[in-house]
Structure 1
């Protein structure tokens, strides 16, 4: 007899809604019994955990008296609700919330598996990273977080497969920010030339939604550093935090202390053109070498050196031709001088939701 799977979803934004739509297409979907966003939680009635929440038109169904409505619930209460379901339970965390990520061990110890693109739990303090996986063992639960690095690119699963089959990873190099890949690809194309000003490119990308609401969240390199931290930990390097290795920020130091308020963002955007000369100088230096500028992260496994920042790249390198996509080159003992290369778009609501769905399907198969 197939074990029923009970699902709780936290986060119903762009990724969350795309994920719900994809869930509705499954022939044998799990039972959705909890759906939470920042100010509201919708759940099935207990102890029957019925009726289930529909994947489509769930907002209309929230008016039903047969479903339980409440405000935002603390993670411990969500964990208790899912752990008491009459079957195996899975939490899908579509947020970037640190408090929820810090509670993953609570879910896992109680047997609730976790599927998430939330990088916080896997890139904050190393103690939390270790606690997440040890709690999964204690609770006989599963953790899938493929989308924390590279979107749907199978970066983490590939690295785990290489290690499990006895290969030796020597070096990892890549571009793991679609936004910075796009900006630098337009600022300095791999083929051809561009006279675009850096500040104008950042402004345009912000206007069309290709950056975070505050572009500094892309330009500071922290998100990229989190991804590199996760990669390093997965291959066995105990990186304490994303701040424990050099990360070059593309935010002018004079503008780095502006507040994160709407006023602060507006001031940053209006002041940024004054600092275009710095990026122009880096571009000219790369041109003189016959190279192009790219924002690259690297891990040298043998020396344990990890760094993220602007680098001049040879035009024949696959990284040089990027313009919006992500790429990871994995150098190993078996692959020798020809690295294993993973490349693709990797981002956006529909694509990230697809990656989450793939992880959920793997979890469901293993929990049966």
Structure 2
């Protein structure tokens, strides 16, 4: 991303992800000294460079932000602030905010590039997806001073899923099917609940263990409903060229017992989940009786224009069955690779 090398950087929302990003940026700035951090915005306060030639400190930003009494900038104020800067500018959005995502076209049209893991920008309305694509830089229209858009981490965390898919398409390959385990949480759960060897633990115990280890959202139902995986499939399907309206446009299997969908809190959900362990035992045992294991996967059938998220059975020799820990795996079945897919696998 050469544009970042000479950019003035804005990091919105310096929370957990934002903190790690700024740490990475600090290391990167030692090799690329032209990077300047000019604004950090949290939900409660902000820190802004007072002069365009005096950027924020990448070594003391956390202390400086803590001492700041400036309120957070609105999206409109952020757009105005960046719009007045003369250099190449990058908005780094580490939120999951729909409001910020909705504003991407406005930033891009002003020549402000956007880097983000925010899935909502690319998996919500098809209208927003088209607006982002149409507002971003296009090499065949270089006279339009538009910003670049990078969202690699919106699918597969640190794995090169989106860049791999785009490379296949840009080099003339035809993608027929995409299949994989797209959730580190679900990977961890099923690798322990239905391992290749041994019996595994009860479902509720594994969910509790995943929660305590920090693999799940504060309310595990936000992982178990399958929507996170569905969002990632929508993103990949749209990149391939499918006009997918939303995550409601295809089957998404939820692993939340209907009886627990309306309980008041995530903790109450966990306390009662053991009442339904027998259901998941049946799923696991039926697969085991056929010499298979069950995994939670997502798939895009490009030729059939079908997407699906849910439980699938796999032979123990299948790459998806052999995952470990919280690894993700994505297989690209294409014209070029045929029945022997291109596989991207690693920490999710």
Name the TM-score class by shorter chain: over 0.9
Q: Is 1:32 aligned with 2:34?
A: no
Q: Is 1:148 aligned with 2:154?
A: yes
Gaps of 5+ in 1: 347-368
Separation of aligned partners in 1, 2:81 and 2:186: 41
* 178, 182, 201: which one aligns with 1:196: 201
Separation of aligned partners in 2, 1:305 and 1:274: 34
**Structure of greater relative contact order (alpha carbons < 8 Å, 6+ residues apart):** 1
Query: Corresponding residue for 2:285?
Result: 284
Separation of aligned partners in 2, 1:250 and 1:257: 14
Residue correspondence of structure 1 range 61-210 to structure 2 within 5 A: 61-62=64-65, 69-137=69-137, 139-190=145-196, 192-210=197-215
Query: Corresponding residue for 1:350?
Result: none
| 2:314 partner SS | strand
Query: Corresponding residue for 2:140?
Result: none
* 42, 46, 49: which one aligns with 2:52: 49
Q: Is 1:221 aligned with 2:222?
A: no
Cα distance 1:269–1:44, how it changes in 2: closer, same or farther (>3 A)? same
Whether contact under 8 Å (2:110, 2:145) holds in the other structure is yes
Separation of aligned partners in 1, 2:62 and 2:154: 28
| 1:25 partner SS | helix
Q: CA deviation at 1:217?
A: 0.8
Query: Corresponding residue for 1:322?
Result: 323
Separation of aligned partners in 2, 1:114 and 1:245: 29
Consecutive aligned runs of 4 or more in structure 1 exceeding 3 Å deviation? none
Separation of aligned partners in 1, 2:36 and 2:346: 32
Separation of aligned partners in 1, 2:107 and 2:100: 10
Q: CA deviation at 1:93?
A: 0.5
Query: Corresponding residue for 1:357?
Result: none
Q: How many residues align?
A: 335
Q: TM-score, normalised by structure 2?
A: 0.93
